[in-house]
Amino acid sequence: MTFRCIAISTDEALRLRHAVTDDFGHTVQRFELDRTYPCRHCLRKASGKSGMLLLSYQTPRPKSVYGQSIFLCAADCARFNEPETIPDIVRNRLVSFRAFRANGMMIYDANEIVEGDGQDLAVRRIFSRDDVAYINAHTAKAGCLLCHIDRT
């Protein structure tokens, strides 16, 4: 079984970078602080000095009440596109893997919280279930979306 961690699309990143309000009508917040934030397009820690955006984002899957807060580089960045790779922003924190059926309903007993080196094994374990269509990775404490994970 193989998987791919999927960042928000470049088209979505461009749309959100030019938006005044986010997907839920809230003002897009801009930060230029001397700290790092996990960008959901490049899936890397990015410096706030060059500008970061904080906004609410409607995930493509599921399109439902599961909308999420995300950080995004204010300037262009290269989209993450590496198969079979857990990106650093997922690997280096306490993460909640939320499993979903194809119809967009969460499968609570398939969800896992992981910290340290267990992310790859957790993704494979969750996908070993036939009823799991995809996974969304979130920060476990704040609940922010990190990335979407599909089988390949």
Tell me the percentage of the chain whose pLDDT exceeds 90.
78
Residues paired with residue 52 on neighbouring β-strands, in sequence order: 31, 73
Specify burial of residue 149 (Cβ count, 10 A radius: 0-12, 13-18, 19+). Answer: buried
Tokens of 127: 């996908």
8 Å CB contact between 61 and 100: yes
Asked whether residue 1 is assigned to any structural domain, the reply reads no
Q: What is the pLDDT of residues 55-87, one digit of tens each?
A: 999 887 777 665 678 999 999 999 999 999 999
Do 95 and 129 lie in one domain? The reply is yes
**pLDDT computed for residue 64 by the predictor:** 67
Domain count, the chain: 2
> Can you list the residues of the chain whose pLDDT is less than 50?
none
Bridge partner list, 134: 100, 150
> Of 23, 39, 73, which marks where a domain is finished?
73
Residue with tokens 């599909």: 150
Q: How far apart are CA 79 and CA 76, in angstroms?
A: 9
Segments forming the whole domain that contains residue 100: 88-151
Domain presence at residue 64 = yes
Contact 72, 40 (CB under 8 A): yes
For 63-82, letters b (16+ CB in 10 Å) and e give: eeebbbbbbbbbeebebbee
